[in-house]
Structure formats: C-alpha cells, structure tokens
C-alpha cells in the first residue's frame, strides 16, 4: 500500500473548518505550521497585481497530512470543498509520494503508523 503527503497552504481562518471536515473523513492526525507567504498575486487581494508591486508576505498556515493512497482523492476533494470561496487566497494543495511512514515511539510502519 502506498502513502502520500498532502501539504495545504491557506489563510489563517480556515483551520477549524478544515480540521472538522478531515476528522469526519477519517484523518486522524495533522501538523500545522504558521508561515508567511504569497502566491502569484504578490500578496494583494486584487485580481491584477501590478508588475512593479513588491511582494507582500501574508500570514498563512501549512497543514501537513499523511494518508494512504486509497484515501487520497477523497481527502483532496474534502480539502478543496472546505477551502473554496472563489476568491484569491483560497490556497494551494501539494501532493507528494511517501515511501514509508514510521512511528518513532513504537517502530510501527505503514498503515499502523497512521492509526
């Protein structure tokens, strides 16, 4: 069985709803990192940033989740549905394959390490 790491970068006010939605879909753990950053709009809230505008880094959060590949599509759809507003700043989702997951305390690997 394969595993994937999902990294979600979104605005600061999205965490509570996202946690609840992911919990309802069986996600049992996550790591949240406070960050600053911007996307293609250079930190503006407008649809057309001027090319000379200096990049403004805005408060963000990165949510990191490891899931079994069989749950990946369902988890991504849940994240998209929960974060979507149609406005700039809804966020980004990055997905990368994981070769293994290991729980340090017990040495459990794979699926057992995610439960």
Output the tens digit of pLDDT for each of the chain's 115 residues: 799 999 999 998 999 999 999 999 889 899 999 999 887 766 555 555 556 567 888 899 999 999 999 999 999 999 999 999 998 889 999 999 999 999 999 999 999 998 8
Are 93 and 50 spatial neighbours (Cβ–Cβ below 8 Å)? no
For tokens 């599509």, what's the residue? 73
CATH number of the structural domain spanning residue 75: 3.30.70.120
Write down the pTM of the prediction: 0.86
Measured in degrees and rounded to the nearest 5, phi and psi for residue 69 equal -60, -30
pLDDT tens-digit map of 15-41: 999 999 999 988 989 999 999 988 776
Are 84 and 18 spatial neighbours (Cβ–Cβ below 8 Å)? no
Directed axis angle between helix 69-83 and helix 15-24, to 10°? 140
Structural domain of residue 33, as residue ranges? Answer: 3-114
Angle (CA) 28-61-32 rounded to 5° is: 30
Count of domains for the chain: 1
């Amino acid at each position: 069985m394969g595993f994937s790491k999902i990294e979600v970068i979104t605005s600061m006010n999205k965490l509570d709803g996202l946690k609840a939605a992911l919990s309802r879909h069986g996600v049992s753990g996550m790591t949240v990192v406070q960050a600053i950053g911007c996307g293609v709009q250079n930190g503006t809230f407008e649809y057309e940033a001027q090319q000379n505008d200096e990049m403004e880094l805005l408060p963000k959060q990165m949510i990191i989740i490891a899931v079994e590949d069989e749950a990946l599509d369902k988890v991504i759809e849940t994240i998209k549905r929960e974060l979507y507003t149609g406005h700039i700043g809804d966020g980004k989702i990055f997905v990368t394959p994981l070769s293994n997951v290991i729980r340090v305390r017990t040495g459990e690997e794979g699926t057992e390490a995610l439960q």
